[in-house]
Structure 1
Amino acid sequence: MKSAFPALFALCLAGTPLWAEAPAFMKRMDVDQNGFLTLGELEEYRTNVFKTFDKNSDGALDSSEYTAFDEARAAAAKETGAPLQLRSVHGLAREYTDLNLDGKVTRDEFREALTRWFKTHDKNKDGMLGQGDF
């Protein structure tokens, strides 16, 4: 899989949707096509991403599956240069997602890490990622 994540939602306090500069991967994730990424839209995309990389369908990303996820995020970020993807390379690194340090990242750990990542980038705390948020 060559793309990494997210999607968009209503009007952020910065007031600037991402459409003008949004890479194609972000436009695909914008379920309601309003130019902003909500946590709900990101969650929907996250579910698909997790399923893609959970090759053995055991509900957790083991070391090799997570390595493939790391490599896909890095390749997508390099290809697009999109700020959101560049931040996801580091922000979703295994050290931030394997919360119990058992060497696997479960769906719950993945969801929790993505929620933390979203909240970190939602600078104006309006529940949406817009241009002013990253």
Structure 2
Amino acid sequence: MNRPRLVAVLAFMPHFSFAQQTPGTHFIENGDLDAKGSVTLKEIPERRGDAFYMFDQNEDDLLSTEEYVFFDEPRAADMAANAENDAHGKGAEFMQAGLTLGFNDTDFDGQVSRTEFLARSTAWFEMIDRNRDPAVTSGGFGPRNN
């Protein structure tokens, strides 16, 4: 797997997601492994594992502070590119917060192990499942109804 190429593709994510009309579409398309139109807690660890793998450049099962910079950059660019049109919708801040070093570094050693990252899957899902049903849909990115 060519990791620099994957990072380059992710760097262009803002352009792809900017074009979407429905908030959360990009997240649902990428996380919906069973093609049912939603992302469930069962699907979250696999996608988080994929993200971890893409950014663990030296394949030591740790995201160092330096590797986390490469993990943060595409997400920050995506959020900035979509901020003007609210393309991510409400709730996107929770998606971003659940991917940060601070959220995932549970032993506070300045890096995130694969185990730590995957162990935070449930907490992250609970943050983004705004209506507390068992799945995240594009409706979860709009105004909170409850």
Shorter-chain TM-score: what band? 0.7 to 0.9
How far the C-alpha of 1:25 sits from its partner, in A, is 4.9
Matched, 1:82 2:88: yes
Task: Assess, with a 3 A threshold, how the Cα gap between structure 1 residues 78 and 35 changes in structure 2: closer, same or farther.
Answer: farther
Partners of 1:36 and 1:127 lie apart in 2 by 9
How far the C-alpha of 1:76 sits from its partner, in A, is 2.5
Q: Name the aligned partner's letter for residue 43 of structure 1.
A: P
Three-state SS of the structure 1 residue aligned to 2:42 is helix
Q: Is the 8 A contact 2:28 2:138 kept in 1?
A: no
Give the aligned partner of residue 46 of structure 1.
48
Partners of 2:26 and 2:125 lie apart in 1 by 19
Cα distance per residue 1:40-69 (max 9 Å; x no partner): 222211111111000011011001111111
Give the aligned partner of residue 115 of structure 2.
108
User: Unaligned stretches of 5+ in structure 1?
Assistant: 5-19
Give the aligned partner of residue 58 of structure 1.
60
Task: Assess, with a 3 A threshold, how the Cα gap between structure 1 residues 126 and 114 changes in structure 2: closer, same or farther.
Answer: same
TM-score between the two structures when normalised by the length of structure 1: 0.73
TM-score between the two structures when normalised by the length of structure 2: 0.68
The CA RMSD over aligned residues, in Å, is 2.4
Q: Name the aligned partner's letter for residue 41 of structure 1.
A: E
User: Unaligned stretches of 5+ in structure 2?
Assistant: 1-6, 15-20, 142-146
Paired residues, number? 119
Q: Is the 8 A contact 1:70 1:89 kept in 2?
A: no
Three-state SS of the structure 2 residue aligned to 1:92 is coil
